């Protein structure tokens, strides 16, 4: 969870939160999402940047571009991260590749406010402020 410029990790077993990291005061975080095995945390920014934080090393291991405005939603599959933005696009980012994104999906007429991978990670659902709902085949790019 994020409060102000600090990100905390919640431990339900212990029933408490501990500080994970701080965000510089000149940056504005707009979303965050942990991956399935709890080793990475993706951070979306108002500027369109996405950073990957390694929880074990406590360091930002990667910074990716691809979107121009606020990244408001994210979803992890095993090796991929999808990010939805106010610029109406969705970027699919393969963590095994060095590129910032492997696929950019366009179809929404307003901000993308929700993305979710299917259990097989092949399909991606997205919803936008345009009241549209899409189901994308990420292997075919549409």
Asked whether residue 82 is domain-assigned, the answer is: yes
Cβ atoms of 91 and 67 closer than 8 Å? yes
Write out the residue range of the structural domain in which residue 43 sits.
2-137
Res. 43: pLDDT tops 90? yes
Tell me the pLDDT tens digit for each residue of 85-125: 999 999 999 999 999 999 999 999 999 999 999 988 889 99
pTM: 0.90
Residue 71, domain CATH: 2.130.10.10
68: nearest Cα among 92, 44, 43: 44
Asked whether residue 142 is domain-assigned, the answer is: no
């Amino acid at each position: 969870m994020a409060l102000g410029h600090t990100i905390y990790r919640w431990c339900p077993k212990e029933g408490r939160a501990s500080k994970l990291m701080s965000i510089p005061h000149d940056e504005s975080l707009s979303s965050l999402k942990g991956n399935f095995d709890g080793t990475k945390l993706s951070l979306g920014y108002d500027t369109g940047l996405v950073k990957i934080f390694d929880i074990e090393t406590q360091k930002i291991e990667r910074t990716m571009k691809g979107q121009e405005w606020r990244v408001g939603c994210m979803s992890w599959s095993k090796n991929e991260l999808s990010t939805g933005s106010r610029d109406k696009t969705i970027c699919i980012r393969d963590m095994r590749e060095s590129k910032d994104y492997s696929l950019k999906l366009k179809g929404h007429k307003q901000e993308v406010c929700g993305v979710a991978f299917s259990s097989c990670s092949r399909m991606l659902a997205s919803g936008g402020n345009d009241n549209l709902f899409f189901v994308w085949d990420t292997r075919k790019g549409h």
